[in-house]
Amino acid sequence: MILSNDTKSKIGEYAKKYPKVKSAILPALHYAYEEQGYLDDSMYEEIAQVLGVKFIEVAEAASFYTMFPKQKRGKYYIQVCRNISCALLGSHHLTQYLLQKLGTKLGETTKDHLFTVVEVECLGSCCSAPMMQVNDKYYENLTLAKVDQLIDEWRAAK
């Protein structure tokens, strides 16, 4: 039992909305991820049980989408948009700057478990490029000064 009863009941409730319960796999994955920060086989199993669907249906779906990692990420999960509009305004430089400043490599989590930096495809914030998403939040029109300030804040907040 990994998922809390609260999460399970939320999943169960949400599933009721759909004409077919299998549709609730995605919302269920989101609920589970929100609670745990990652997903694994036993959580798939629990989701399958709550929804009454097959384990494999949950596992296959989860593996397809990018938002359900199987490993925990840093407290600040920094996703830098690498796509065209951001790239035109320096996103590659932004990534390099972040990696250097945080002393880490792409896709790896810093030792203090604070930061994971990854590059992602377009996040739909092209008119405010360059941008990055940190956990759920968008940070747009980034400049070096802004990035410095943000990192200081996060480090201070731990």
Partner 1 sequence: MQKHVLFENINDPKLHNIDRAIELGAYKAWEKVLKSIKREELVQMVKDSGLRGRGGAGFPTGLKWSFVPVASPKPKYLCCNADESEPGTCKDRVLMECDPHSVIEGVMIAAFAIDCHTSFFYVRGEYDLSMRRIEKAIDEAYKKGYLGKNILGTGYDLEMILHRGGGAYICGEETALLSSLEGEKGLSRIKPPFPAVSGLYACPTVVNNVETLANLPRIVINGGQWYASMGTEKSKGTRIFSVSGHVKKPGNYELELGTPLRTLIYDYAGGILDDKKLKCVIPGGSSVPVLMPDQLDTPLDFESVQAAGSMLGSGAVIVMNEDTCMVWVAEILAHFYMHESCGKCTPCRQGTGWLYEIIHRIEHGQGRAQDLDTLLDLAKNIEGNTICALGDAAATPVISTIKQFRNEYEYHIEHKKCLVKSDFRLR
Partner 2 sequence: MGDFNITVNGKTVPAVKGQTVLQAALAAGIDIPVFCWHPQLVPVGACRICLVEIEKFPKLQVACATPAADGMVVMTESPKVVKARQGVLEFILAHHPLDCPTCDKGGECDLQDVTFKYGLDYSRLQEPKHRNIVDENSTFDDLQIGPEIIRNQNRCIHCYRCTRIVDEACFEDDLGAYQRGYHTEILPPPHREIRNLYSGNVVEYCPVGALTNDDWRYKVRVWLTKQAKSVCTHCPDGCNLTHWTFHNKIFRATSRPNENIDRGFICDIGRYGYQQVASSDRLKQPMIKKNGELIEATWEEALNLIKTQVSELKSKLSGNAFFGLIGETSTNEEIYSFQRFLRRVIGTSHIDSRINRKRRLTFGEEVTSRAIAPDHVSYQDIDKADTFVVYASDLHSENPITALRIKRGVRYRDAKIIIINSRSTHLGVRTGATNLLHKPGTGLAVLTGIVDAAVSSTTFDKSAVGLSDQQISEFKQAHTELLLPKAAAMSGVGESDLRAVADSLVRSSNVVIFCGADFSRYPYRDEELLALDNLRRICKSAKLAVLPESSNSVGAELLGAYPNQYPGGKGSDAKSKFEDLWRGPLPDFSGKDMIGILEAINEDEIECGFIFNADPVRVFPDGNYADAVLEKLKLLVVVDSFMTETARLADVILPLSTFAETEGTRTNWEGRIQYTQSAIKPMFDSKPGCEILELLADRLGVSFGQGRPSEVYGELNKSLGDVLPVRYEMFKSEGAIYDRPKHQPKPGFNRVAYNAIPSDREYPNFLTVGNADHHRGPNTERNPSLLKFTGDPFVGLSEIDAKELMISDGDLVKVESRTGKVVGNARVIAELPGKVVFLPENFRELRPNLLMGLKEKFDHVKVTKM
Q: Of residues 64-83, which lie at the interface with partner 2 (CB under 8 A)?
A: 64
Q: Is the distance from CB of 52 to CB of 58 less than 8 angstroms?
A: no
Binding residues for partner 1, rule CB under 8 A, total 53
Q: Does 121 bind partner 2 (CB under 8 A)?
A: no
Write out the E strands in 92-151. 115-120, 132-134, 137-139
Tell which one of 4, 9, 49, 63 touches partner 2 (CB under 8 A). 63
Q: Does 26 bind partner 1 (CB under 8 A)?
A: yes
Tell which one of 5, 64, 153, 156 touches partner 1 (CB under 8 A). 64
**63: buried, middle or exposed (CB in 10 Å: 19+, 13-18, 0-12)?**
exposed
Residue 148, SS3 per DSSP: helix
Q: Would you say 6 or 34 has its CB closer to partner 1?
A: 34
Binding partner of residue 87 among partner 1, partner 2, none, CB cut-off 5 to 8 Å per kind: partner 1
Q: Is the distance from CB of 85 to CB of 126 less than 8 angstroms?
A: yes
Write out the E strands in 42-141. 76-81, 115-120, 132-134, 137-139
Tell which one of 5, 66, 103, 153 touches partner 1 (CB under 8 A). 66
Tell which one of 13, 41, 60, 112 touches partner 1 (CB under 8 A). 60
Q: For binding to partner 2 (CB under 8 A), which residues are involved?
A: 41, 54-57, 59-60, 63-64
